[in-house]
Structure 1
Amino acid sequence: MSLVLDPAAQDLLFREARTANTFTDEPVTDEQVQAIYDLVKYGPTAFNQTPLRITLVRSSEARERLIPHMSGGNQAKTASAPLVAILSADNEFHEELPTLLPAMPQIKDLFFAERPAREGSAAFNAALQAAYFIVGIRAAGLAAGPMTGYDAEGVRKEFLDDDHTPLMVVNIGKPGEDAFRPRSPRLGFDEVVTTV
């Protein structure tokens, strides 16, 4: 094995990690979420843009507003998770680029003057950040239950605005009883990798 990361960390982040379907009632704190974000914000994106936005659903009132927008199979999971995060792409992320890239202020106007270009870049790079966020949740010793089974337009209208596109809803917490299904097969190296 030529990986630098020790086997226990590899298991925690990848080999033994699964999408959680049940959770204990142990709370997930704001400090834990901040530690996760402070770790994963360094994951690479194009031009170091950061279009991911995270809306934490904590209150019972907000949870009651979210559950009807989840597909039937995801409603109970979302109702019982200690914390739920709505991950979205900010289509106006380019407004922060002059601050993030002071040496290259022309990037904002050159690449992101048109809304369709911004939306495409926001969706792609926020999806990268969402993947880092899920790995960060695992690094914190928690489990993630990412879901795309929901009414995206309903979630956007209820929790976001026209400048934000929902990407996924993620249940977060300590895994509960029978939290994990058996791992589905994955393609092998020779099925994926081609050398030219």
Structure 2
Amino acid sequence: MTLALDPTAQDLLFREAHTAHTFTDEPVSEEQMRAVYDLIKLAPTAFNQSPLRITLLRSRAARERLLPLMSQGNRDKTGSAPLTALLSADVDFHEKLPKLLPALPGLKDGMYAEESVRERSGSFNATLQAGYFLLGVRAAGLAAGPMSGFDAEGVNKEFFGDGRQKVLLVVNIGRPGPDAFRPRNPRLDYAEAVTVL
């Protein structure tokens, strides 16, 4: 066997997983999301900075605040999904570094003292964590509908008014509904994407 992960798990996380466009009305529980977070918090980040912040929009009122900021093609599915997550990068992730990396106490005030450095590093590392988040949702047996079609500046202002978080991705979460999945588009072959030197 080439891969350590059994074929059923490979199918769940990769081969059979698709971006969902419709969802049932079955709720996504707090326990499910805690279980997802307990997996994805282990994603690798530079110096364990862990800059990803997840804002779960459960209430109708919170969803109504988001809908006008979504692109037209993403509004209906966001309005009908049982749960929507805003994945953002915390510009001030360095404040938690003494807890996350106690062996290197000077990191907080050293290389991450400059905000532009934190923004670049935080955005990159939170994006790594976002990929793990999608896999965590799949591991819970749920479908994810990640979207980049939204007004990022508007979302930041509406949900993170202090400017300390920067939205990266909006993800609808739930059980797939009727016609949830579109046919899978082709992917690049190994030889097209991989260079061996």
TM bucket normalised to smaller = over 0.9
For 1:195, the equivalent position in structure 2 comes to 196
Cross-structure match for 1:117: 117
Shift of 1:103: 0.7
Partner of 1:132: 132
The equivalent of 1:151 in structure 2 is 151
Q: Which secondary structure does the structure 2 equivalent of 1:112 belong to?
A: coil
Q: Post-superposition, which runs of at least 4 consecutive aligned residues in structure 1 deviate over 6 A?
A: none
TM-score, normalised by the number of residues in structure 1: 0.98
Identity %: 67
Aligned to 1:75: 75
Q: What secondary structure does 1:54 align onto?
A: strand
Whole-angstrom distance in 2 between the partners of 1:100 and 1:174:
34
Corresponding position of 2:170: 169
How do residues 1-196 of structure 1 correspond to structure 2 at under 5 angstroms? 1-160=1-160, 161-196=162-197
Residue 89 of structure 1 aligns to a residue whose secondary structure is strand
User: For 2:154, what is the secondary structure of its paired residue?
Assistant: helix
Q: What letter matches 1:152 in structure 2?
A: A
Unaligned runs of 5+ in 2: none
CA distance in 2, matches of 1:75, 1:118: 32
> How many pairs are equivalent?
196
SS where residue 141 of structure 2 aligns?
Answer: coil
For structure 1, the residue ranges without an aligned partner over 5 or more in a row are: none
Question: TM-score of the superposition, structure 2-length normalised?
Answer: 0.97
Structure 1: distance between partners of 2:75 and 2:53: 22
Computed over aligned residues only, the root mean square deviation of the Cα atoms, in angstroms, reads 0.8
SS at match of 1:14: helix
Cα offset, 1:72, TM superposition = 0.2
Amino acid at match of 2:88: S
Give the C-alpha shift of residue 192 in structure 1: 1.4
Determine the C-alpha separation between the residues in 2 that align with 1:96 and 1:84: 26
1:105-124, CA deviations, whole angstroms, 9 ceiling, x for partnerless residues? 12222211111100000000
- Post-superposition CA distance 1:120-154 (Å, at most 9, x none): 00000000111100000000000000001001111
- What is the Cα deviation at residue 184 of structure 1? 1.1
1:191 and 1:111 mapped to 2: Cα distance?
37
Supply the distance in 2 between the matched residues of 1:111 and 1:14 (Cα, whole angstroms).
Answer: 37
